[in-house]
């Protein structure tokens, strides 16, 4: 379907326009500036979300092509263009970004009191960059968005973060930098071979097998850090702990998905032979991530760290699934990423609610909140269960499809991942018990009030999505199906072609 | 068949209303909504059951809407009703209705009654989804759903640390079983390309003899499937090894114990094996495993039940033991007998639990039988109900004339084990007979310690002892009638002459496994031995706890190791704690401190940063500001460069 107006660009850059509005028109006393910035940011992000829903409405679920495509020549001499498009793989990541941004802005309503204007601007810019990254169909454009996302995130952690924010921001930066440099080198190399940076063309380009290996590792270095995979995960707990609540939500909700999206968009279609060859490596790292980080999560004393470690475990499911290369596994990996985006975001918001009241994340300081915060207890329970992967919630559909897919790949892989089902239940329920259940004995806790209407308004849409994805996931599985099948077909064709040519060469050699 | 919508979804609706609008509705409103919807569901279930098994209602699948569809992995939310489901429907809704109404009285002091009622209704919904599933994944949905309901209800009194610990334990131990269940589902899907029963069952005979590489082992495909699925059943039905959560689950309010941890949820494993009989039938080895595990559990749990002092724990171990009977019945392909015992057991065990609840209620929340005694005269009705429940459990009756419910169902299981006549079925038969002896002993012990002798409680409690109100005793009549009559009425249909029409195609038994003909004509000793074992067990308990109350102490001291073994539940909790729980925390801490911080960070980012700092310091040292230092450095550089250039040029 084609529209006669650039829906994708509009969705991408509307937040920036909002940010510019705040920058140029919001004036007055500090309080007025803060208030107006909040409202402008909220409305901008809500309108952006509505626009992104139009993408979903106009999306043709029977096609694996990039749709609603836009293309403007940028550097025509170099064959580099500004081009956007959406397919079944990127569609819901865009929606996830636009869905979480208003929630983040709303969650920071009271929590952020200094430099509110700058905070809102940072979030809106971040939204543009995230959406642009998922929509880019030019690899250079993708790279620019992909790297630029780091800047507002770095600022959000570094300015509005906790006490050790400098250490965390630095660690975050150091890890991601290394991967990024290698990826840039790989992109330049690919450009030299293919003569273009157009993603659909690059997907058709066949790179030699040894070249694929190098390219694959260069991309892997970047994406593995983002996911993050074991053992390059240690930046995440620190970044989460120091980031403000909304920063954690975006970090867990969207930024981690950039790695998974990268594997699906680049590694598998462009380097299929290397993907097949190094799948075992990914499986090992994924299973280690699931077991290792789940056990580490079990002993955490900081609520945010615990959830951060659980994120690594959940993303371990995703990376294993992506390289299992069958329909259930890949569809499952996308659903799991979406679900994790919503659920882990919601869990960080749950931590934020009590952090705003008591200003500590230490589990031991809490206990018995169910007595004076029953609404909070209910929401927290729903998200806990979704994180555990209870059937009927979003967490189940992704996890179960992944395991079905992984089982077809290897029973070892499925069994290794499935231990996460048990361990995940252990650390989440243990956390919930220590925070919410028990006697309410501490005096400062007794003062805490239950959720405000604003906070309820934040959680209700999240619960709705969690249940929708759990009970009627067809809304999400249908649009991605064709693209997923196309991806697998493309991959299998490439593998078969390589085998044929190897056989032909062997025959010729005899 | 539209009534099945109401049967399943009315409790869900009630749970939502009572759960979210409990404050507005008040206690009374919540009671009304939840109780009325479950009663309606129960009436409709009976209607469905009777018109299916006696009338001409055909089994059917009512689809609701698509759930998950990804390539071949495709399934609907659907409500499937056949004889097996219909039996479960009446068991679940009847006991649930009784428990709902009973709870109105039992919980009347509690300040969060709407929440309690909502949980009960939510449980009923999940259980009904489980039994009406037409595919393995929906069964798994119900399976985990009842697990959550159980978790929430065990931890209902969330201010108690012991209740919270028990709730988590129940969930996690069940999850271990569910892991097996999930892997089993995956294997079924890989083998047959579907998770729908209607596709799976016809595909199974074609898989006989196929092998599958599971975790590096070449195993028989069907056997592997069955064992994995059975691990799930073991978790939910508290079979040996995965049973440790059930006794602890007694931390929950007593109506919960009756509904979830006796009559319905814990029987889900038995139901699963029966539902999947078209798979299990094709693996001799899997059936052997089911038999051995069931028989061992029946025996093990009975030994522990002998020495427990908490009235609810005795009944909990008894439940565990009876579930073992059901499993070994299934293991010898007498699935119908397993379902029969499941049905009768639901009545008398719920009766025993609710009776125990009535005792606890009367005793101001005392559960230790050592502090009871002499209550028979004060709470006559409860005493009568407990007596009926116990007789039904012990399986007393006069062969050929009349017996209480357990007499028919338990004895038939033993007859089936005898008829199967293999090494494992003989194992099951003899352990079953020994367990019957112990069952009678601990049942008698429970009755005598609680109701007979002199009161051992303090004055204040004794003065307060009172019969429960009508709202609690009323519903027990239904269970009591069931405990008395379910056996004699159900026998012809479940396992007797009408069984073929009754079950239809719901259960598959291969002709080679069909022991029913032989089991209907047992030798005399097969009938007499269990009865004799039961009577002598009961008589022995009479000697121990009525005639000579000093005797138990003497026996305990004489056989101290055995007594300790039984009293400490064979040390399962201690062993598991040592093997799994402590190491998990310990390894987690090592990974965190030594792995993440000590290794990855140390050599990774922190290391890089430190080296950079060192490098910077070194560099700053060199910037001494003296020109001759720089000149010297430049000179060395020039010399090195020249050397390299000459050498490489020469080469």
CB of B69 less than 8 A from some CB of A: yes
Chain B residue at shortest CA distance from A388: B175
Task: At A508, list the tokens.
Answer: 């010729």
Beta-ladder partners of B211: B220
Q: Do B175 and A331 touch (CB under 8 A)?
A: no
Comparing CA positions, the residue from A283, A343, A284 lying closest to residue A310 is A343
Task: Specify the pLDDT at position B398.
Answer: 86
> How far A408 CA sits from the closest chain B CA (Å)?
7
Measure the CA–CA gap between B244 and B574, rounded to whole angstroms: 10
Using CB atoms and an 8 Å cut-off, which of residues 186-205 of chain B contact chain A? 186-187, 189-190
Residues of chain A in contact with residue B141, where contact means CB-CB under 8 angstroms, are: 391-392, 396
Measure the CA–CA gap between B239 and B231, rounded to whole angstroms: 9
Comparing CA positions, the residue from A40, A52, A85 lying closest to residue A66 is A85
Q: Do B70 and A481 touch (CB under 8 A)?
A: yes
Q: Do B591 and A474 touch (CB under 8 A)?
A: no
A370, A397, A414: residue with CB nearest B68: A397
- What sign for the dihedral angle of Cα B492, B498, B500, B506? negative
Residues of chain A in contact with residue B592, where contact means CB-CB under 8 angstroms, are: 296, 299-300
pLDDT of residue B96 exceeding 60: yes
Measure the CA–CA gap between B591 and A73, rounded to whole angstroms: 51
Question: B7 with B87: CB under 8 angstroms?
Answer: no
> Of A381, A382, A421, A437, which to mutate for an interface test with B (greatest number of B Cβ within 10 Å)?
A437
Q: Do B588 and A429 touch (CB under 8 A)?
A: no
Q: Do B588 and A171 touch (CB under 8 A)?
A: no
Measure the CA–CA gap between B126 and B131, rounded to whole angstroms: 9
Least confident of A26-30, A33-37, B142-146: A26-30
Interface confidence (ipTM) of the complex: 0.92
Q: Give the number of C-alpha atoms closer than 13 A to the C-alpha of residue B485, restricted to the C-beta side.
A: 7
Q: What CA–CA distances, in Å, run from A17 to A74, A116, B145?
A: 21, 17, 47
CB-based contacts of B526, cutoff 8 Å, min separation 6: B414, B415, B418
pTM exceeds 0.95: no
Instruction: Tell me what the pLDDT averaged over chain A comes to.
Output: 90
Least confident of A387-396, A483-492, B538-547, B639-648: B639-648
Task: Specify the pLDDT at position B594.
Answer: 85
Beta-ladder partners of B398: B402
Q: Do A400 and B141 touch (CB under 8 A)?
A: no
Q: Do A332 and B171 touch (CB under 8 A)?
A: no
Question: A317 with A225: CB under 8 angstroms?
Answer: no
Q: How many CB atoms lie within 10 A of CB A59?
A: 17
Measure the CA–CA gap between A243 and B633, rounded to whole angstroms: 46
Q: How confident is the model at residue B650 (pLDDT cuts 50, 70, 90)?
A: low
Mean pLDDT of B550-561: 87
CB of B71 less than 8 A from some CB of A: yes
Mean pLDDT of B435-444: 94
> How far A394 CA sits from the closest chain B CA (Å)?
11
Task: At B304, list the tokens.
Answer: 């522990």
Mean pLDDT of B299-322: 93
Residues of chain B in contact with residue A471, where contact means CB-CB under 8 angstroms, are: 67, 77
> Of B181, B605, B610, which to mutate for an interface test with A (greatest number of A Cβ within 10 Å)?
B605
Q: Which long-range contacts (CB under 8 A, 24 or more apart) does B499-506 make?
A: B499/B336, B501/B53, B502/B53, B502/B83, B503/B83, B503/B84, B503/B336, B504/B59, B504/B82, B504/B83, B505/B59, B505/B82, B506/B59, B506/B82, B506/B83, B506/B84, B506/B85
**Strand duo B217-220 + B211-214: pairing:** antiparallel
Q: What CA–CA distances, in Å, run from B462 to B342, B369, B453, B459?
A: 37, 14, 14, 5
Would you call B30 exposed, middle or buried from its count of C-beta atoms within 10 A (0-12, 13-18, 19+)?
Answer: buried
Question: A248 with A103: CB under 8 angstroms?
Answer: no
Mean pLDDT of A187-213: 89
Q: How confident is the model at residue A5 (pLDDT cuts 50, 70, 90)?
A: confident
Would you call A177 exposed, middle or buried from its count of C-beta atoms within 10 A (0-12, 13-18, 19+)?
Answer: middle
Residues of chain A in contact with residue B600, where contact means CB-CB under 8 angstroms, are: 231, 234
Comparing CA positions, the residue from A26, B199, B504 lying closest to residue B191 is B199
> How far A119 CA sits from the closest chain B CA (Å)?
28
Least confident of B36-50, B58-72, B406-420: B58-72
- Please name the residue that has the structure tokens 């427990």: B308
Task: Specify the pLDDT at position B622.
Answer: 65
> Of A176, A229, A299, A327, which to mutate for an interface test with B (greatest number of B Cβ within 10 Å)?
A299
Q: Do B183 and A473 touch (CB under 8 A)?
A: no
Question: A156 with A247: CB under 8 angstroms?
Answer: yes
> How far B568 CA sits from the closest chain A CA (Å)?
25
Measure the CA–CA gap between B439 and B432, rounded to whole angstroms: 10
Q: Do A437 and B172 touch (CB under 8 A)?
A: no
- Please name the residue that has the structure tokens 């770095």: A154
CB of B141 less than 8 A from some CB of A: yes
Chain A residue at shortest CA distance from B587: A295
pLDDT of residue A499 exceeding 70: yes
Chain B residue at shortest CA distance from A439: B159
Measure the CA–CA gap between B282 and B143, rounded to whole angstroms: 24
pLDDT of residue A504 exceeding 90: no
Task: Specify the pLDDT at position B571.
Answer: 86
pLDDT in tens, B340-399: 999 999 999 999 999 999 999 888 888 899 888 888 888 899 999 999 999 999 988 888
Using CB atoms and an 8 Å cut-off, which of residues 566-595 of chain B contact chain A? 584-585, 587-589, 591-592, 595
> Of B159, B588, B604, which to mutate for an interface test with A (greatest number of A Cβ within 10 Å)?
B588
Question: B84 with B339: CB under 8 angstroms?
Answer: yes
Q: Do B605 and A437 touch (CB under 8 A)?
A: no
CB of B70 less than 8 A from some CB of A: yes
Task: Specify the pLDDT at position A260.
Answer: 94
Task: At B156, list the tokens.
Answer: 């209902």
Using CB atoms and an 8 Å cut-off, which of residues 9-68 of chain B contact chain A? 65-68
> Of B22, B63, B68, which to mutate for an interface test with A (greatest number of A Cβ within 10 Å)?
B68
Residues of chain A in contact with residue B596, where contact means CB-CB under 8 angstroms, are: 234, 237, 296
Q: How confident is the model at residue A2 (pLDDT cuts 50, 70, 90)?
A: low
Measure the CA–CA gap between B255 and B106, rounded to whole angstroms: 8
Q: How many CB atoms lie within 10 A of CB B459?
A: 8
Which runs of consecutive H residues, i.e. helices, occur in B306-422?
311-331, 335-362, 380-394, 405-420
Least confident of B102-111, B292-301, B456-465: B456-465
Q: Do B159 and A332 touch (CB under 8 A)?
A: no
Comparing CA positions, the residue from A272, A192, A210 lying closest to residue A489 is A272
Question: A292 with B591: CB under 8 angstroms?
Answer: yes
pLDDT of residue B625 exceeding 90: no
pLDDT of residue A99 exceeding 90: yes
Task: At B204, list the tokens.
Answer: 């199974």
- HEC string of B112-180 equals CHHHHHHHHHHHHHHHHHHHCCCEHHHHHHHHHHHHHHHHHHHCCCCCCHHHHHHHHHHHHHHHHHHHH
Measure the CA–CA gap between B531 and B552, rounded to whole angstroms: 24
DSSP characters over A169-222: HHHHHHHHHHHHHHHHHHHHHHHHHHS--BHHHHHHPPPPHHHHHHHHHHHHHH
Question: A330 with A402: CB under 8 angstroms?
Answer: no
- What sign for the dihedral angle of Cα B369, B371, B372, B378? negative
Comparing CA positions, the residue from B318, B109, B281 lying closest to residue B204 is B281
Can you tell me whether residue A507 is helix, strand or coil? helix
Measure the CA–CA gap between A195 and A81, rounded to whole angstroms: 12
Measure the CA–CA gap between A109 and A120, rounded to whole angstroms: 10
Q: Do A471 and B67 touch (CB under 8 A)?
A: yes
Comparing CA positions, the residue from B346, B213, B175 lying closest to residue A428 is B175
Q: Give the number of C-alpha atoms closer than 13 A to the C-alpha of residue A115, restricted to the C-beta side.
A: 11
Percent of chain B with pLDDT over 90: 58
CB of B171 less than 8 A from some CB of A: yes
pLDDT in tens, A221-254: 999 998 889 888 888 998 898 889 999 999 999 9
Measure the CA–CA gap between B317 and B299, rounded to whole angstroms: 10
Beta-ladder partners of B73: B70
CA B388 from centroid of its chain's CA atoms: 25
Which runs of consecutive H residues, i.e. helices, occur in A243-278?
245-250, 256-262, 268-270, 272-277
DSSP A298: H
pLDDT of residue A109 exceeding 60: yes
Using CB atoms and an 8 Å cut-off, which of residues 148-167 of chain B contact chain A? 148, 151, 155, 158-159, 161, 164, 167
CA max distance for chain B: 119
Task: Specify the pLDDT at position B23.
Answer: 85
Chain B residue at shortest CA distance from A294: B588
DSSP characters over B530-579: HHHHHHHHHHHHHIIIII-TTHHHHHHHHTHHHHHHHHTGGGHHHHHIII
Q: Do A425 and B172 touch (CB under 8 A)?
A: yes
Mean pLDDT of A19-28: 85
pLDDT in tens, B121-176: 999 999 999 999 999 999 999 999 999 999 999 999 998 999 999 999 999 999 99
């Amino acid at each position: 379907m084609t529209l006669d107006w650039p829906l994708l660009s509009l969705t991408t850059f509307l937040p920036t326009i909002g940010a510019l509005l705040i920058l140029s028109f919001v004036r007055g006393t500090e309080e007025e500036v803060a208030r107006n910035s909040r409202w402008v940011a909220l409305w901008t992000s809500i309108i952006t979300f509505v626009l992104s829903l139009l993408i979903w409405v106009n999306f043709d679920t029977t096609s694996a092509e990039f749709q609603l495509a836009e293309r403007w020549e940028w550097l025509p001499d170099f064959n580099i263009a500004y081009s956007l498009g959406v397919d079944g793989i990127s569609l819901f990541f865009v929606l996830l970004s636009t869905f979480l941004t208003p929630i983040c802005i709303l969650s920071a309503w009271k929590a952020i009191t200094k430099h509110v204007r700058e905070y809102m601007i940072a979030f809106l810019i971040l939204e543009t960059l995230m959406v642009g990254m998922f929509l880019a169909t030019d690899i250079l454009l993708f790279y620019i968005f992909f790297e630029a996302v780091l800047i507002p995130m770095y600022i959000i952690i570094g300015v509005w973060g906790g006490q050790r924010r400098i250490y965390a921001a630095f660690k975050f930066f150091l890890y991601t930098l290394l991967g990024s440099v290698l990826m840039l080198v790989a992109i330049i190399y690919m450009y030299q071979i293919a003569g273009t940076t157009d993603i659909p063309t690059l997907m058709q380009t066949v790179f030699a097998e040894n070249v694929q290996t190098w390219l694959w590792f260069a991309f892997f270095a970047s994406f593995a850090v983002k996911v993050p995979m074991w053992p390059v995960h240690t930046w995440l707990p620190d970044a989460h702990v120091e980031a403000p609540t909304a920063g954690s939500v975006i970090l867990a909700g969207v930024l981690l998905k950039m790695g998974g999206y990268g594997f699906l968009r680049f590694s598998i279609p462009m380097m299929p032979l290397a993907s097949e060859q190094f799948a075992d490596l990914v499986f090992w790292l994924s299973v280690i991530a699931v077991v290792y980080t789940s056990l580490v999560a079990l002993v955490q004393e900081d609520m945010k760290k615990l959830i951060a470690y659980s994120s690594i475990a959940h993303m371990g499911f995703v990376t294993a699934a992506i390289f299992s290369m069958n329909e259930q596994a890949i569809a499952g990996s996308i659903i799991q990423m979406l679900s994790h985006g919503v659920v882990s975001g919601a869990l960080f918001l749950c931590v934020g609610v009590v952090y705003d009241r008591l200003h500590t994340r230490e589990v031991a300081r809490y206990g018995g909140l169910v007595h004076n915060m029953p609404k909070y207890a209910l929401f927290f329970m729903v998200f806990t269960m979704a994180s555990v992967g209870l059937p009927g919630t979003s967490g189940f559909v992704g996890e179960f499809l992944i395991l079905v897919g992984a089982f077809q790949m290897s029973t070892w892989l499925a069994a290794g991942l499935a231990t996460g089902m048990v361990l995940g239940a252990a650390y989440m329920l243990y956390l919930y018990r220590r925070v919410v259940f028990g006697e309410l004995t501490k005096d400062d806790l007794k003062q805490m009030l239950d959720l405000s209407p604003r906070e309820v308004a934040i959680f209700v849409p999240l619960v709705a999505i969690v249940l929708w994805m759990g009970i009627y996931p067809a809304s999400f599985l249908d649009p991605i199906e064709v693209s997923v099948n196309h991806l697998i077909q493309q991959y299998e064709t490439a593998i078969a072609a390589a085998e044929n040519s190897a056989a032909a060469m062997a025959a010729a050699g005899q | 068949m539209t009534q099945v919508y109401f049967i399943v979804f009315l409790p869900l609706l009630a749970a939502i209303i009572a759960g979210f609008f409990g404050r507005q509705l008040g206690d009374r409103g919540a009671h009304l909504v939840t109780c009325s919807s479950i009663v309606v569901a129960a009436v409709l279930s009976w209607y469905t059951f009777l018109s299916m098994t006696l009338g001409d209602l055909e089994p059917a699948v009512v689809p609701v809407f698509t759930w998950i569809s990804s390539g071949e992995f495709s399934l609907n939310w659907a409500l499937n009703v056949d004889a097996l489901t219909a039996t479960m429907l009446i068991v679940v809704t009847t006991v649930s209705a009784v428990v709902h109404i009973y709870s109105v009285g039992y919980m009347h002091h509690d300040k969060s009654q709407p929440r309690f009622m909502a949980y009960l209704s939510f449980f009923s919904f999940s259980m009904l989804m489980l039994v009406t599933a037409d595919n393995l994944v929906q069964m798994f949905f119900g399976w985990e759903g009842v697990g959550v309901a159980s978790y929430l209800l065990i931890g209902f009194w969330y201010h108690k640390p012991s209740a919270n610990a028990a709730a988590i334990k129940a969930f996690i131990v069940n999850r271990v079983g569910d892991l097996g269940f999930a892997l089993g589902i995956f294997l079924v899907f890989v083998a047959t390309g579907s998770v729908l029963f209607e596709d799976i069952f016809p595909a199974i005979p074609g898989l006989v003899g196929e092998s599958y590489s599971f975790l590096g082992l070449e195993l028989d495909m069907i056997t592997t499937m069955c064992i994995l699925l059975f691990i799930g059943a073991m978790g939910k039905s508290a079979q040996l090894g995965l049973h440790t959560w059930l006794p602890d689950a007694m931390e929950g309010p007593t109506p919960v114990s009756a509904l979830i941890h006796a009559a319905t949820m814990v029987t889900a494993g038995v139901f699963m094996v029966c539902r999947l009989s078209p798979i299990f039938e094709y693996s001799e080895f899997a059936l052997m495993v089911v038999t051995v595990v069931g028989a061992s559990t029946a025996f093990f749990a009975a030994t522990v039940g002998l020495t427990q002092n908490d009235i609810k724990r005795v009944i909990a171990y008894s439940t565990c033991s009876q579930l073992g009977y059901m499993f070994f019945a299934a293991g010898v392909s007498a699935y119908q007998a397993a379902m029969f015992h499941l049905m009768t057991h639901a009545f008398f065990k719920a009766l025993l639990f609710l009776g125990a609840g009535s005792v606890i209620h009367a005793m101001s929340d005392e559960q230790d039988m050592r502090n009871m005694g002499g209550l028979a005269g004060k709470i006559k009705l409860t005493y009568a109900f407990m007596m009926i429940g116990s007789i039904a459990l012990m399986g007393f009756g006069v062969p050929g004339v009349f017996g209480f419910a357990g007499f028919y169902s338990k004895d038939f299981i033993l007859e089936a084990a005898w008829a199967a006549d293999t090494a494992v079925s003989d194992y099951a038969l003899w352990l079953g007979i020994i367990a019957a002896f112990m069952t009678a002993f601990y049942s008698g012990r429970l009755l005598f310690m609680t109701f007979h002798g002199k009161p051992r409680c303090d004055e204040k409690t004794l003065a307060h002892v009172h019969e429960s109100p009508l709202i609690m005793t009323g519903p027990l009549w239904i269970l009591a009638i069931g405990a008395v009559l379910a056996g004699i009425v159900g026998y012809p249909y479940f396992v007797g002459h009408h069984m073929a029409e009754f079950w239809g195609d719901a259960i598959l038994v291969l002709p080679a496994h069909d022991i029913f003909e032989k089991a209907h004509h047992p030798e005399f000793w097969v009938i007499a031995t269990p009865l004799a074992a039961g009577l002598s067990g009961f008589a022995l308990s009479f000697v121990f706890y009525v005639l000579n109350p000093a005797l138990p102490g003497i026996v305990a001291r004489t056989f101290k190791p055995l007594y300790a073994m039984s009293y400490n539940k064979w040390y399962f909790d201690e062993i598991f704690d040592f093997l799994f729980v402590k190491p998990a925390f310990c390894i987690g801490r090592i990974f965190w401190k030594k792995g993440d911080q000590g290794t990855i960070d140390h050599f990774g980012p922190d290391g890089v940063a430190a080296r950079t700092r060192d490098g910077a310091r070194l560099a700053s040292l060199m910037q001494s500001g003296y020109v001759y230092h720089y000149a010297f450095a430049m000179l060395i550089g020039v010399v090195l460069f020249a050397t390299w250039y000459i050498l490489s040029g020469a080469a």
